[in-house]
Amino acid sequence: MSKNDEILVKVSHMTKKFGDLLVLNDISFDVRKGEFMCVVGPTGCGKTTFLNCLTKLGVYQLTSGEILINGEPVDLAKHNVSYIFQEYSAFPWQTVEENVAYGLKIKKWPKDKMEKQVNEMLAMVGLTEYRKYYPSQLSASMLQRVSIARAFATQPDLLLMDEPYGQLDNSLRYKLEDELIKLWQHTGTTVIFITHNIEEAVYLSERILVLTNKPTGIKKEIVNDLPRPRDVTDVAFNKLRDEVTDLIKWW
């Protein structure tokens, strides 16, 4: 799906320590524009830390190394980055449509353009008839759809997803994964998707970065060119899943 070989995110010698604890240990890799990259790694290896370092929030300055977006240090005023976390992030005091419009208001989209975009996003995730509902009135999968609609609404250059479906049951997860792939194909957004679910990584990604335990490095980078739509019962799918499973047996 990647349209070209242009690099959007360049991670060079990324190293992060918390006190004496070496978490990310000299990690380098690139993410191409439009690519869907999955990062898999054991709990505590620093996956969330990596996303936080990408945006340099609070204590999350790299100890050494750098992360560039479009060849420049990350600047959230300039680079349009969205996140979806595992915890539902919808504001409880706002309706579904207000939640989806949130980032657009911050970016001061004109009202008519904003309405059009909100309508389109709500339709894409099947929430049009729930637009006036509050988060407390929604199911788990609907809440994740709100997060997805909100994240895609601002047409981000880069979408960061941190184990967003970790707490959902399998059938919901499959549905949301299919919707996510549709949105990704439709928008061309670059996605970095973190998971510890191997099947999910093989289902979604174009490339899988397999991390080691702390101090964390890259165990292997795997190109995933299985045709879409993918089928979890397919022989080639299972072969790749087994290959990744073998890599992480010693977590």
Ligand X SMILES: Nc1ncnc2c1ncn2[C@@H]1O[C@H](COP(=O)(O)OP(=O)(O)O)[C@@H](O)[C@H]1O
Name the site residues for ligand X (rule: CB under 6 A). 18, 23, 41, 43-49, 59
Select from 9-17, 43-51, 95-103, 208-216 the region that touches Mg ion (CB under 5 A).
43-51
Indicate the residue among 16 and 47 with the shorter CB distance to Mg ion: 47
* Shortest Å, Cβ 18 to ligand X: 4
Q: Per rule CB under 5 A, is residue 70 in the interface with Mg ion?
A: no
Burial class (CB in 10 A: 0-12, 13-18, 19+), 244: buried
Starting at the edge strand found earlier in the chain, the sheet holding 81-84 runs: 81-84, 158-162, 190-195, 36-40, 207-211, 218-223
* Shortest Å, Cβ 158 to Mg ion: 18
Indicate the residue among 51 and 240 with the shorter CB distance to ligand X: 51
* Shortest Å, Cβ 184 to ligand X: 22
Residue 164 binds which one of ligand X, Mg ion, none, with CB within 5 to 8 A depending on kind?
none
Indicate the residue among 48 and 238 with the shorter CB distance to ligand X: 48
Q: Which H, E and C letters describe 36-100, residue by residue?
A: EEEEECCCCCCHHHHHHHHHCCCCCCCCEEEEEECCEECCCCCCCEEEECCCCCCCCCCCHHHHH
Q: Per rule CB under 5 A, is residue 48 in the interface with Mg ion?
A: yes
Residue 95 binds which one of Mg ion, ligand X, none, with CB within 5 to 8 A depending on kind?
none
Indicate the residue among 54 and 124 with the shorter CB distance to Mg ion: 54
| CA separation, residue 195 to residues 35, 108, 121, 173, 235 (Å) | 16, 33, 24, 12, 22
Residue 76 binds which one of ligand X, Mg ion, none, with CB within 5 to 8 A depending on kind?
none
Contact 168, 177 (CB under 8 A): no
| Residue length of the chain | 251
Indicate the residue among 168 and 183 with the shorter CB distance to ligand X: 168
